[in-house]
Chains A and B, each alone.
Chain A
Amino acid sequence: MITFRATLNVKIGILIMLLSAAAFTWTYFMPLRSMELFIPRISLALMGLGGFLVMLKDFLEPLEKIAEPPRERILPYLVGVPAAMWLYGWSFRNIGLLTSTFLFLTIWWACISIRDAKRTDSLQSVTPKILKLAALALVVTASVQLLFIELLNMYMPRTFLP
């Protein structure tokens, strides 16, 4: 028996259906030949069908068998981590590979070490730890330079710092 349930799966299923239906309709207003749009339309139809089946499954399954996606706080990481990765990509092309790699690693490790030291109440021993990690960052930076620039001849734009 079909029972309507407003689960997260159903909501996402409906959203997928609406988006693919809108995109499918949009293809009829595109200045392309029908053969050029054949596979795109199949892909959009498949997405819509998938969304419908995802929704239908939750209507047909007994309530206890429905597995909902986890509801955890992820958005800050989903935005923050790719943004940091993009920033690193930008910085090694504009500031310099050695400088940006060393700075990124050292800053991250220093922050984590200070936080751990505060948590475990061992702030007195944090400076040598950070120095050791800075040395490790230097080794990683040198390895990156050796591998990508010296060995693999990766193209690097001219930058002010190394």
Chain B
Amino acid sequence: MFDMDAMREAFFVVFALDTALYIMIGVIVGISVGAIPGLAHSLPIALVLPFSFVLPIHQTMGLLIGTYKGGTYGGSITAISFGTPGTSGAAATVADGYALTKLGKGKKALQMGLYASVTGDTLSDLALIFLVVPIGMMAPRFGPAELSALYFLALSLVVVFSTENPGKGIFAAGVGFFLAIIGRDILTGGLRFTFGVRYLEAGFPLVPLLIGFFAVPEIIKKIKEVIERPDDSGVIGEAAEKLLKLKEEGLTLKEFLASWRGLGLGTIIGTFLGALPGPGATLCSYTAYSVTSQFSKDINYGKGALEGVATAEAANNATCGATFIPLLTFGIPGSSIAALLMAALIMQGIPLGPRVVVDHTVVVYTLFLLLLLANPFNLLFGKILIPVYSKLTKIPAAILWPVITLVLVIGTYALNNRPFDIVICLIAGVIGYFFKWFKLPDGPLVLSFLVTPLFEANFRQALTISRGDFTYFFTSGISQVLWIVTLATIILFVRKRRKTDAEISGN
């Protein structure tokens, strides 16, 4: 039941100067830290968490939500400008975003990233408000068998959609699978493929892997360019003159609206998957990106299309609101950031679970309003920072890339204060270069790396429950639907590929 008095109380608490100030600080910190590769936005959230002890709940949550939203968007800035995702969730933005920057449309891509992020985020917040109960009821119906089917679907989508050569997609997924199983077995604790390296026992860390995979190949390429073709990479000293002359075209309303498919699919998939515990922003954005590739009419999709940026960013940010669905209804944090937000609420004396909406209605409404209010702040400060970043890309490579390289090395180290992470980052960089050189798609690798631990845990749990009976994976209605969707998608893809091949041969 909607409680008008509680809403009024929450409204006056949220729409106050002090709350706005804390949201603003959070958004600025979030965008700034999110834009630094290596520094996951869970880091500033963890840093501001102790404030929960001294600040009232609306200020604490304003600060945390602002940081969360700003950080989720901030990752796309470097993904678009330098091909280096600031956060893992922005990895899917690299393909189209960075391609647009190279085409001289970096400002358009950055604006699209911002507007899509805010749109996806706002719609997901509204979905949270209206669907918190119905979606929350659906989430626990996903048992191990259903989740296995869901993860299999996500993986199949990315493999079949991401490349024109299915062999390359399958190989990339295989590499992702392999990297993900390095370390301790999730159930027995046995060591798998650690080759006696103690640091690998905890597994291949995600953030150094992503930073290395995306950033190091680009650094190698740029350094090679600076050394071998100095005239193309910009001469030191011309930077200031070039920057003053810079005038890039911004995004038009028509271009923004033309990406409605990507925005819609990104928001829906981001909200749906974001509401389930486990998938996270990276998986959501890659899945949405792959699905949209089949519906997009833009022939440049994947090679520099605004719709690609819109899809990935809408899905990435749509997880912000959706994360609160399992958190508020069942007290299940879907990601590490959700766990931090949950910790802040618990420290404020809010026991999360099915009764929170009834027992703490004002707090829940306050959270809803804070989530909505953080979006205009994200839009405003994102807009302020876009010109800065679009100008940064015009600085000669000889000046800019060494600075990025050093920040990247320190950022990778700062994550866990572990020197071995730098080694992982460099190994991932060499793998990333091979992928780039051999034109292998990055989506299947990243997605299978993320999905494998979840898939394996659920798959083996399901087999344990069913005592080795594989029919268990097809017994429930949800899993049957998911398997049918997987099969239908693959058939659709094969038919579409044959049709396209026939058309090309005909021409």
Interface residues of A (CB under 8 A from B): 12-13, 16, 20, 32-33, 35-40, 42-57, 67, 69-70, 74, 77-78, 81-82, 85-86, 88-90, 92-93, 97, 101, 104-105, 108-109, 112-113, 115-116, 119-120, 129, 133, 136, 140, 144, 147-148, 152-155
Contact = CB atoms under 8 A, between A and B. Distances in A.
Interface in B157-177: 165-175, 177
Contacts of B220: 74, 77-78, 81-82
B235 A53 contact: no
Interface string B454-487: 0110001000000000000000000000000000
A152 B414 contact: yes
A48 B174 CA distance: 9
Given A46-B173, A54-B168, A144 B430 contact: no
B174 A40 contact: no
Interface in B385-414: 398-399, 402-403, 405-410, 413-414
A69 B437 contact: yes
B403 A43 contact: no
B209 interface: no
A46 B173 CA distance: 7
B177 A46 contact: yes
Best-surrounded residue of B171, B178, B409 (most CB of chain A within 10 A):
B171
B448 to A, nearest CB: 8
B419 interface: yes
A6 B364 CA distance: 65
B422 A43 contact: no
Contacts, number: 174
Given A78-B433, A85-B426, A119-B230, A51 B167 contact: yes
Given A43-B178, A70-B437, A152-B414, A112 B406 contact: no
Interface stretch (B110-118, B185-193, B263-271): B185-193
B236 A133 contact: yes
B410 A148 contact: yes
B423 A86 contact: yes
Nearest to B412: A89
B495 to A, nearest CB: 19
Interface in B175-225: 175, 177-178, 181, 185, 187-188, 190, 192-193, 216, 219-220, 223-224
Given A39-B181, A39-B452, A81-B216, A144 B223 contact: no
A149 B193 CA distance: 35
A47 B223 contact: no
A53 B170 contact: yes
Interface string B134-174: 00000000000000000000000000000001111111111
A54 B437 contact: no
Nearest to A93: B419
Contacts of A97: 410
Q: SS class of chain A's interface: helix, strand, loop or mixed?
A: helix
B499 interface: no
Contacts of B224: 74, 77
A57 B170 CA distance: 13
Given A38-B456, A42-B177, A51-B171, 20 more contacts: A32-B190, A33-B188, A33-B190, A43-B177, A46-B177, A50-B169, A55-B167, A57-B167, A69-B437, A74-B437, A81-B219, A88-B406, A89-B422, A90-B419, A92-B413, A93-B413, A116-B235, A152-B43, A152-B414, A154-B410
Contacts of A81: 216, 219-220, 223
A91 to B, nearest CB: 10
27 contacts: A16-B171, A32-B190, A36-B192, A38-B456, A39-B456, A40-B178, A44-B178, A46-B171, A47-B171, A47-B174, A49-B171, A50-B167, A50-B170, A53-B171, A54-B167, A81-B219, A82-B426, A85-B219, A90-B419, A93-B419, A104-B402, A105-B403, A108-B398, A109-B402, A129-B236, A140-B403, A144-B410
B360 interface: no
B247 interface: no
Q: SS class of chain B's interface: helix, strand, loop or mixed?
A: helix
A112 B235 CA distance: 9
Nearest to B169: A50
B437 A86 contact: no
B439 interface: yes
A54 B230 contact: no
A69 B439 contact: yes
B178 A113 contact: no
B226 interface: yes
Contact of A53 (B165, B173, B187, B452): B165
Interface in B47-106: 47
A74 B39 CA distance: 30
Contact of A57 (B165, B236, B425): B165
B506 interface: no
B130 interface: no
B236 A112 contact: yes
Given A78-B433, A152-B47, A46 B170 contact: yes
B237 interface: yes
A151 to B, nearest CB: 9
B438 interface: yes
